[in-house]
Structure 1
Amino acid sequence: MKILDWYILKRYLFTFFMMLLLFVPIGITVNLAEKIGKLLANEVPFNEIVVYYLNFTVYFAYLLFPLFLFLSVIWFTSKLANNTEVIAFLSSGVSFSRFLRPYMIGATIIAGLALFLGMYLAPISSKGFNEFEYKYLYPDRKTTQDRNVFRQINDNEFIYVSSFDSKNKLGVNFTLEHIEDNKLKYKISAKTIKYIDKDTIYRLVDYVKRTVGDINDQLDIEKSKDTLFSFDVEDLTPVIYIAEILPYHELTRFIDKEEKRGSSNIGRYQLVLYRKWSLPVSVFILTIIAVAVSSIKRRGGMGVNLAVGICIAMVYVFFDKIFGVMAEQSNFPPIIAVWFPNVIFGILAIYLLRNAKR
């Protein structure tokens, strides 16, 4: 049986990585054709383009990991079935569960790779990929929100700006409230707040500070005031891809901090966090479905198996995207949005596997 295990395992891994090598260049070509005009117009240095597409390779491969895996298993298992090799294996007394074992070993290897990519390598590549795009291609679409920004900076201080321009680091209608024991101690307001990079200070125009007293309040008014605050500009409006570029442990700390600050983007951040675990699990589910669908020799040949497999893969991607958008745009729980496709397709995998055994 070791010969059978090695035979299937090598085909499993070889076909998967060949699928990556075939589709990643296609993805790079399509992406380059779409963006070549902006790259030339912005006179982007060639070395930065090369680094961008190296990051794009990892980003693209991780994004479509389940789809590549599913199609590769469908492909080589269908070839085994068409060559009657599956029938030969099962006729020799090998149970379908035993036949499935090398697939599960291969899925474990790929799931481990997916976990490593999601935890460490993909965030690094995603950072380079996104920073390049927002630097040269989409400079005006970098922040998650630039209107009515309300943040809790620490246990006692809350800030608000009616609008924020991340490019010029300028906020309008700024307010900071310092509260202790549920009582307002002082309030700072200004018509505008601007971060000065050179001096690492904030410049407030039409500055007013009201300190609450026991009897009378104290007012401090200045036309312009340079000062320091305990928050950074990035704390006001984190970039939209912030969750994608943080390694797992940093991401969990970031989400905890954002929850305390009352961020409205927690769903988006949690979605990225939960997917780091759900994607490796989907590797096993999609492997079982692919084997159950393609191990049967059909009258239409490999084309029928591929057609069925592509339909199932598209439905999986559809569910994943729909529930992901629901979690980002509403109060729909992110953990349900991430795991619901796996639960549904896990049930489908069990059903198909039981029928395949018969």
Structure 2
Amino acid sequence: MKNRLNLLRIDKYIIGKFLGTYIFMITLIISISVVFDINEKIDKFMSNSAPLKEIIFDYYLNFIPYYANLFSPLFIFLAVIFFTSKMASNSEIIALLSNGVSFKRLLKPYMISAAVIAIFSFVMGSYIIPPANETRISFEQKYVDPRKKKTGDRDIQFKVAEGTIVYFGNFDMESKKGYNFSIDRFDSLKLVSRLTAQSIQYDSLYHWTINNYQIRDFEGMEEKITRGTSLDTIIQIVPNDFIVAKTDQQMMTTPQLLRHVRSQKERGLGNIQAFQIEYHSRYASIFSAFILTIIGASLSARKVKGGMGLNIGIGLALSMAYILFMTISSSFAVKGNMSPFVAAWIPNVVFIGIAFYLYKKAPN
């Protein structure tokens, strides 16, 4: 691999600096975050009698990789600024440029390092962390904040099959029971059958029991009415299809997210913006790693008076701006005012312009 990439000693040196600083920063910042999180939640742990084993293995063992991976592009950014500023301060960058190494060539080990981290983070975030999030979120709902658990919803309507629309007046997730239930069946936009029921109980996969029901079948000008107290039936839905919590998207792998979004669109269900944002953000984070690396290297390669303090300050300001862009665009997308694809990618688009400007201003 080294021969194929044609890595020089300086490339290996920069890659080692990059990855070493990145790991150091993740370890330092996440360790501080864990300390603050313990301080914030210890009262809830104690009041809810959370077992120490579950706190360590179910919560914090899954807390650390989730937040480390979530902010990985920003850790990359800060790591690049930190070690590149130090190299510039030690005149290492000047020595390389004065010996005929162009800034473009200097970026090669930076891009290799960013690619290694980005691919690793994508695999972690797409396939490994989501199952771990299920354990972490379950712990939070049990011992930290039970209100995070979605217990029901009202006025639910969507398509379960071609020409078949179901409606729940309200649904209780704890009892798996819905009230004021109806099924409308259409043939070429013409209503041919309508079932109404006082309640409906979910049993197992796609199996439901309808209670105190009435079925009206329409044939031309005639109407046939059937009533009953209980009816077992198969409906191609489960409660998790329409009862969605704010954290559900975090517990899905990337293929599961894609299948869920497509399924909900086919059924005419709303409230899928958070799932779409999560899906697109996982791919956007790959490119953000490269964009932020270029910005960090371009910003820090020049030796400045006063050391690396100014570069780190500018880097922190840009980090806050990046987080602000992500937060604002995601909020607009959730409210339906912006496409989830645009919301996930707009921070990268804005920062591409910043990266291009700083790259042109970088020393050569």
Shorter chain as denominator, the TM-score bin is: over 0.9
Tell me how far apart the structure 2 counterparts of residues 350 and 273 of structure 1 sit (CA, whole Å): 27
| 8 A contact 1:147–1:164 mirrored in 2 | yes
Q: Pick from 143, 157, 179 the counterpart of residue 172 of structure 1.
A: 179
* Runs of 5+ unmatched residues, structure 2: 1-6
Tell me how far apart the structure 1 counterparts of residues 358 and 43 of structure 2 sit (CA, whole Å): 48
Tell me how far apart the structure 2 counterparts of residues 257 and 228 of structure 1 sit (CA, whole Å): 18
For structure 1, which segment, 79-88 or 144-153, has the greater mean C-alpha deviation from structure 2 after superposition?
Answer: 144-153
| 8 A contact 2:325–2:347 mirrored in 1 | yes
Q: How does 1:100-179 map to 2 (within 5 A)?
A: 100-143=107-150, 146-179=153-186
* Runs of 5+ unmatched residues, structure 1: none
Structure 2 length-normalised TM = 0.91
Per the TM alignment, residue 347 of structure 1 is displaced from its structure 2 partner at its CA by 1.1
Tell me how far apart the structure 2 counterparts of residues 281 and 74 of structure 1 sit (CA, whole Å): 18
Aligned-partner residue type, residue 20 of structure 2? F
Q: Find the counterpart in structure 1 of residue 341 from structure 2.
A: 335
Number of corresponding residues: 357
Tell me how far apart the structure 2 counterparts of residues 251 and 187 of structure 1 sit (CA, whole Å): 33
CA change 1:266–1:103 in 2 (3 A) is: same
SS at match of 2:161: coil
Q: Find the counterpart in structure 2 of residue 299 from structure 1.
A: 305
| 8 A contact 2:160–2:267 mirrored in 1 | yes
Per the TM alignment, residue 82 of structure 1 is displaced from its structure 2 partner at its CA by 1.1
Q: Find the counterpart in structure 2 of residue 3 from structure 1.
A: 9
Q: Find the counterpart in structure 2 of residue 55 from structure 1.
A: 62
Q: Find the counterpart in structure 2 of residue 190 from structure 1.
A: 197
Q: Find the counterpart in structure 2 of residue 20 from structure 1.
A: 26
Identical-residue share of aligned pairs (%): 35
Structure 1 length-normalised TM = 0.93
For structure 1, which segment, 344-353 or 19-28, has the greater mean C-alpha deviation from structure 2 after superposition?
Answer: 19-28
Q: Find the counterpart in structure 2 of residue 252 from structure 1.
A: 258
Q: Pick from 29, 35, 55 the counterpart of residue 29 of structure 1.
A: 35
Tell me how far apart the structure 2 counterparts of residues 156 and 140 of structure 1 sit (CA, whole Å): 36
CA change 1:144–1:291 in 2 (3 A) is: farther
Tell me how far apart the structure 2 counterparts of residues 206 and 183 of structure 1 sit (CA, whole Å): 25
Per the TM alignment, residue 304 of structure 1 is displaced from its structure 2 partner at its CA by 0.9
CA change 1:142–1:157 in 2 (3 A) is: farther
| 8 A contact 2:329–2:343 mirrored in 1 | yes
- Cα deviations across residues 128-166 of structure 1 (Å, max 9, x unaligned)? 222222233333333397122112122232211122222
Q: Find the counterpart in structure 2 of residue 265 from structure 1.
A: 271
Q: How does 1:214-233 map to 2 (within 5 A)?
A: 214-223=220-229, 225=231, 227-233=233-239
Q: Find the counterpart in structure 2 of residue 238 from structure 1.
A: 244
Say whether residues 1:68 and 2:78 are aligned partners: no
Tell me how far apart the structure 2 counterparts of residues 201 and 135 of structure 1 sit (CA, whole Å): 28
